[in-house]
Structure 1
């Protein structure tokens, strides 16, 4: 990779799990009533009710991982489990009441926090409670995030019995000195055992989440982690870039110094080392920071243009409505976003009074909707076109000016009505998407909001 390009394009930028990005949501014109109107529109638009997805945020962790920027609550008090689940089910009941028909759930994902902080019995209580007000689709897909140190056989068997077939385990890195720095110590043997247990239980997809750019992480560390990963042959691999955002409230990214982090060229080399080894082992790179076997549905979705990206990452499922339940969870109706309050106490208090616990959100205008489609096209397929009238917008001339430099640098090919990201440009996909981000261009942040793009 061209080192000069890394230096040139290593700037702060969004990861584009949504457009507009959260810091640019128009909070002033947002209301819970307006949000519910978009929910009803997404659910009932067309001849029949649409399938929906659920993301359920389970925020509790027994210890703080210092690489994590997610919203979580650190506690060893497991008596918090049942009251929290009852609040989540009350939130779901309030949403279900707003819908014109019994919702049919296509996808459920349990994220965190640490979902396996909860006992198997309480997780069963949660899923059974969800389906008091919903039905499964014929081709449903349920997944959860598991901690290798506390995911038991009973967790695996209970969730399997409830229809879960996909599990992702957070690995990050196997090097002991990196694990100590990020306060996430889990031996390779734990990962091996829980991976084998998941397969023995019948899970059809086991994923491993890795992170590059962690404190004190070296080329040898990444090579060893990838070698161990290849040995275990997970079906999918997420290779995330560590996002250093210590200024964001509620995260624990203060257990090491910024100078302890590999940055720029050194950080990108970690990714290139991992990518090369994974591709040599037979994995296919999917969009940005994901890998899968060529026969995996994720690879097939990318090949046939059905790949989708949302707040949960890349998926083969693109339902018109994704409802996020739990503290800090974000919902997406395509026409709008809504994020829940971030305090467990505030969340439960509002639900005790039958109030949806919405903290903020954004209703997309016409320009937002078009730009969102362009950015999704780029993030999922490395190509977008404004040939059709419904993909055109007034600011396209501004975008084309911003694309001149990536064009000269060989990061994109461009025709009069389309762009395609070149293989050389794929590492800079976030920078290319930033050219379309008119809300960002028109209101440059005065302080740093995002992690580095490289």
Structure 2
């Protein structure tokens, strides 16, 4: 049961990825109050202290620009920037700790970027020890990092393992040399296999591969070859993302043209091929884009109903407080979001003034919180229970009826459930719950295509 071409054509529209609600373009940053944000953060942490908090650290530096990348990066070969940046990240963390003014319990740390393995192992050690200073690591905590296979050394792996890291995610994207050339992302199968072997030997228990479909020059032949090579290495998780082509936001994507990209039915065929290949090897389809082996914590979370989605993607746990440190990082207190300044120089300047480097945010209203729960449940559980007497339920149901007619969702009284075909259109389904998007006329300029 796979989508047909008419569905693909109909639903291939600009759509958010729903790592938050409201999505960032619809935050009310003009009325955002940083003091109220901190007050909400502290209150949420106080109420949920037993759950601990999550830390995301954005390490933006890369030696080379990957032209497909939509992340906030700083390209440099000067590794002298490492120590200075870490000093400021730890300074930002001290401000947050002082604002919370309680014992800090850490449930999760994730290092993203950029390229975290741009940093020397000794500097990563200083960063992590600084984050953990005076805090408590919760039993069963999850520490993970993103790694470039071509520059991740055994020393990186050993250093982070001794600090409590048991998970890593390898950014592969594609193994085809022609595709790698256009996206300027070069690593060999041998690079990946080396890191895999060393990580397993050291004791890492969960290794993820990031793969992307919809990249320039990809065909079913090249994608099949990439996935076959990936599956032979047997990672615990696979993230199979749709390439987001947004050159009006990321000019680096202009290295290739739209004519180089598989689109529409051709692009969806790549996803279906990959999904089928991955599924035949025993991986569970976990939400949107993510697959996990039985026994992996993400797999267990999907089965138990505890799967969560945040700015880092899918997670096997929910912590009400997520604090993002570093340039462009986003923090989440459930009823409020805040995003940091996006340039390194301005980040340093604001911290030198003793202030949090927050540039924008959004404080959720009651309606926002209900809709956020609806969208999270659809993304993570594949079903939504409508809240009784919620003012816009009728409008949501009305927007979902055409999707029901197309076989994407099913209704059972006040429960809405995604169908097997509908899993390929989760972003479109969530749009029906997105009241702010429905009231906007800007989605075509803001978001990438759903398929």
TM-score, length-scaled by structure 1: 0.97
Q: Is the 8 A contact 2:14 2:443 kept in 1?
A: no
C-alpha separation in 1, matches of 2:377 and 2:198: 37
Runs of 4+ in 1 over 3 A off after TM superposition: none
Q: Is the 8 A contact 1:172 1:209 kept in 2?
A: yes
Q: Is the 8 A contact 2:14 2:444 kept in 1?
A: no
Residue 41 of structure 2 corresponds to which residue in structure 1? 39
C-alpha separation in 2, matches of 1:139 and 1:385: 30
User: Considering only aligned residues, what root-mean-square deviation do their CA atoms show, in Å?
Assistant: 1.1
Q: Describe the superposition over 1:112-136 as per-residue Cα deviations: whole angstroms up to 9, x where unpaired.
A: 0000000000000100111224221
Q: Is the 8 A contact 1:175 1:221 kept in 2?
A: yes
Residue 58 of structure 2 corresponds to which residue in structure 1? 57
Q: Give the deviation of 1:282 after TM superposition.
A: 1.2
Q: Is the 8 A contact 1:42 1:50 kept in 2?
A: no
Residue 288 of structure 1 corresponds to which residue in structure 2? 288
Residue 164 of structure 2 corresponds to which residue in structure 1? 163
Alignment of 1:89-104 (within 5 A): 89-104=90-105
Q: Describe the superposition over 1:67-98 as per-residue Cα deviations: whole angstroms up to 9, x where unpaired.
A: 00100000001100000000000000000001
Q: Give the deviation of 1:447 after TM superposition.
A: 5.1
C-alpha separation in 2, matches of 1:202 and 1:268: 37
Residue 125 of structure 1 corresponds to which residue in structure 2? 126
C-alpha separation in 2, matches of 1:244 and 1:447: 12
Residue 438 of structure 1 corresponds to which residue in structure 2? 435
Residue 327 of structure 1 corresponds to which residue in structure 2? 327
Residue 214 of structure 1 corresponds to which residue in structure 2? 215
Q: Is the 8 A contact 1:44 1:50 kept in 2?
A: no
Q: Give the deviation of 1:393 after TM superposition.
A: 2.2
Q: Give the deviation of 1:29 after TM superposition.
A: 1.7
C-alpha separation in 1, matches of 2:51 and 2:402: 42
Q: Give the deviation of 1:281 after TM superposition.
A: 1.2
C-alpha separation in 1, matches of 2:142 and 2:168: 11
Secondary structure of the corresponding residue to residue 295 of structure 2: coil
Moved more, 178-187 or 396-405: 396-405
Q: Is the 8 A contact 1:69 1:252 kept in 2?
A: no
Structure 2 unaligned spans of 5+: none
Q: Is the 8 A contact 1:60 1:117 kept in 2?
A: yes
How many residues were matched structurally?
449
Alignment of 1:297-376 (within 5 A): 297-376=297-376
C-alpha separation in 2, matches of 1:213 and 1:447: 19
Secondary structure of the corresponding residue to residue 56 of structure 1: strand
Moved more, 440-449 or 407-416: 440-449
Secondary structure of the corresponding residue to residue 156 of structure 2: helix
Q: Is the 8 A contact 1:327 1:342 kept in 2?
A: yes
Q: Describe the superposition over 1:147-203 as per-residue Cα deviations: whole angstroms up to 9, x where unpaired.
A: 001000000000001000000000000000000010011111111111111111110
C-alpha separation in 1, matches of 2:18 and 2:421: 20
Residue 401 of structure 2 corresponds to which residue in structure 1? 404
Q: Give the deviation of 1:100 after TM superposition.
A: 3.2
Moved more, 113-122 or 411-420: 411-420
Q: Describe the superposition over 1:223-273 as per-residue Cα deviations: whole angstroms up to 9, x where unpaired.
A: 001100110000000000000011115x52111001110000000000111
Q: Give the deviation of 1:55 after TM superposition.
A: 0.2
Alignment of 1:229-308 (within 5 A): 229-248=230-249, 252-308=252-308
C-alpha separation in 1, matches of 2:51 and 2:266: 46
